[in-house]
Structure 1
């Protein structure tokens, strides 16, 4: 018996398979395939599966439990066949078989040579394959899936054909900008559906017709539920920053959205880090995906010099930051703290000492956040204080210094933070303020990324 259950709709299906004789491994595999096919037809996720077998052996024989366990393990270990590999590398955009007007957009955006993830990742996505891709921040993941989406759109059909989900409004809006810029010569129509904006305006734009929707899970699900966003023509579904998207806060919403999409759909999952639980969850809605992963010890932060400053007490961090302010103002800098309240506190303290800083966090209304980010991107604001929530939406080419006023609480977030500096191979510097209580976290970060973080030298300005 195969038992399949769907936790979201409480469907349960029992599939009974009768074997004429002692089942061989091939019988098991065939049965698994048949049951997977059946469950996909009735919209049950076949990977949420418990497998049971009951049967009677001929009289006078014994059921061979050891052989059964061995065969079952072989079948279950075969789950690694879920992934396929893709080893082709294309060292130029011209070699990828992209449309001429897409190439024009890519070159106009400022790309000359594809990054490592683009060399391996654009073509399989363009071929319609499901893909899981991992690369560090600042290596061009966004342009990878944007190129893949744009290559496959039918521009004669002004209906939503691609849906991209992102964990924050800022990141969704950043993706929208990249998609629009790369598709400039194709005439692509893109819209960002994010919270904090007018629902009626979203409905009006979607009614008029778009090719691509980029958005946050809550607003996208709302638009699908209202049928303002029609899913009939959607053939591509992308999760950006999957580690964040598949965390507890977004997992259920993603499943809800996925169940409203057509059954045959291409899925792309992109992230700087890919913890095991994220990979496991992708099994629920991907078919034989191409896996382009970087092992944890290969997660390099090349081009980013990393330093720490010993700060005896938490209260001394502010003095240390003020001492560094003149250095900060040489270039554009981002300062990370761990809470929204601390963003406000640090901003007030810096301004009271006549230091010019901008600040943004999730409690601010969308319009205010947009204005602040616009000023920062244009260069009129040079020092930005923010939290992890917004780390992934900051894509500013001129940022070459990141300060971790507070070390991140999770090692994975360290990459997302300091990846803001040294974008696309430029040089960058990261400075970590470390108290006695932070020493363990700094040790964990160094171990996690296989890096050595050195003490800050006195000539830090020369490194920028």
Structure 2
């Protein structure tokens, strides 16, 4: 059974009105957020009342800050209440589907919790196991992890999760593969009974709801009414062409919009990401590839370069379509049309975030007309067809 929430007629316009501590209000302002998003207005009150919550996880919604702010508030209040008798121990567990998301969430958590002094630890593969173990020796309060490395530590008696009070399953619809299901089944006996559970998912089909029912109790389901499934300030265009014309078309697009802040080019395979990034560099642009076969350190370096503008073009697989927080992306190019309309929505959602304008250009071969129709039907929006010549007008 779930409880639905509805926004009041007078939305809360600041974080203070949500009951956040001054230190956390200062932290969100430091990160550039002056007023809460809709999901924060609806989600934070339920979380602060210790309710289990189903949170939508649309790109740019403020979902990550929502569950982190509630977690940090709870820790701060406990420290204040217990005073000198307070002892740090693992109380909050945030499970992420990928190392990249875990690393990013840990970074946001440390920024938000800087003035509270919480001990946050990242546990995931791709980095030194011994180094992560040593980091736990000084005490830990918030664990942000991927399931494989976490289960390794727990089953070897190197981490105690029996006092976890606050559990977040982030991007839960991506955690339904067989490996994760087995890991969750193995982890449950090590967790405290019935921690407050936050279940984040972009979609809630029957399979996801079945998992939600297993791990939550009478959750509050946060619903955000949206006029459309894609950002309103996003200009969507499609170009029909032959496959051999794609590269020259992308070159023309990049030549025209090279002064834009950031451009993401999506492809469907890791091989294509490497090859196209190399080709783009040969045209004189600063571009890097991003995909799952690159090491954790390499991917972090690429994202840092992209955020810092040392590289203005990111050629990537769908690993960057969801979850990763990348600001000021002006243009998204679908070099390869995605395999589903849901992935299309996530891809183009990398642009036109936080009320800004953006462009999405999809390159479509003539035998893919039916895929375009399926996308338009799903997003309830007609995508304007243009020619390559229109790009220069």
Verify same fold: TM over 0.5.
yes
Q: Which residue of 2 aligns with 1:208?
A: 138
Please state whether the residue corresponding to 1:425 is helix, strand or coil: coil
Q: Which residue of 2 aligns with 1:83?
A: 2
CA distance in 2, matches of 1:314, 1:203: 50
Q: Out of 244, 250, 266, which is 1:321 matched to?
A: 250
What's the offset of the Cα at 1:114?
1.0
TM-score by length of 1: 0.77
CA distance in 1, matches of 2:310, 2:20: 37
**Paired residue total:** 380
Please state whether the residue corresponding to 2:169 is helix, strand or coil: strand
CA distance in 2, matches of 1:278, 1:226: 30
TM-score by length of 2: 0.90
- Summarize the alignment of residues 309-458 of structure 1 with structure 2, pairs less than 5 Å apart: 309-311=239-241, 313-330=242-259, 331-456=261-386
Please state whether the residue corresponding to 2:100 is helix, strand or coil: helix
With over 3 angstroms needed to count, the CA separation of the structure-2 counterparts of 1:355 and 1:163, relative to structure 1, is: same
Mapped pair 1:163 → 2:79? no
What's the offset of the Cα at 1:398?
1.8
What's the offset of the Cα at 1:229?
2.4
Mapped pair 1:230 → 2:160? yes
Q: Which residue of 2 aligns with 1:4?
A: none
With over 3 angstroms needed to count, the CA separation of the structure-2 counterparts of 1:293 and 1:245, relative to structure 1, is: farther
Q: Which residue of 1 aligns with 2:58?
A: 136
With over 3 angstroms needed to count, the CA separation of the structure-2 counterparts of 1:152 and 1:224, relative to structure 1, is: same
Q: Which residue of 1 aligns with 2:69?
A: 147
Please state whether the residue corresponding to 1:446 is helix, strand or coil: helix
Mapped pair 1:110 → 2:110? no
Q: Which residue of 2 aligns with 1:259?
A: 189
Q: Which residue of 2 aligns with 1:101?
A: 23
- Summarize the alignment of residues 184-199 of structure 1 with structure 2, pairs less than 5 Å apart: 184-199=114-129
Q: Which moved more, 1:383-392 or 1:282-291?
A: 383-392
What's the offset of the Cα at 1:352?
3.0
Structure number with greater Rg is 1
With over 3 angstroms needed to count, the CA separation of the structure-2 counterparts of 1:260 and 1:437, relative to structure 1, is: farther
- Summarize the alignment of residues 291-302 of structure 1 with structure 2, pairs less than 5 Å apart: 291-294=221-224, 299-302=229-232
CA contact (8 A) 1:129 1:266 kept: yes
Q: Which residue of 2 aligns with 1:304?
A: 234
Q: Which moved more, 1:250-259 or 1:276-285?
A: 250-259
Q: For each residue in 1:249-292, what CA deviation from the matched residue of structure 2 results, as whole angstroms up to 9, or x when unmatched? A: 53332332233211120111113333332122211111000011
Please state whether the residue corresponding to 2:284 is helix, strand or coil: coil
CA distance in 1, matches of 2:24, 2:379: 35
With over 3 angstroms needed to count, the CA separation of the structure-2 counterparts of 1:320 and 1:459, relative to structure 1, is: closer
Runs of at least 5 residues in structure 1 that lack an aligned partner in the other structure = 1-81
CA contact (8 A) 2:97 2:171 kept: yes
Q: Which residue of 1 aligns with 2:110?
A: 180
What's the offset of the Cα at 1:369?
1.4
Q: For each residue in 1:430-462, what CA deviation from the matched residue of structure 2 results, as whole angstroms up to 9, or x when unmatched? A: 111111232222222221222221124867699
CA contact (8 A) 1:131 1:269 kept: yes
CA distance in 2, matches of 1:189, 1:453: 47
CA contact (8 A) 1:168 1:390 kept: no
- Summarize the alignment of residues 45-64 of structure 1 with structure 2, pairs less than 5 Å apart: none
Q: Which moved more, 1:262-271 or 1:388-397?
A: 388-397
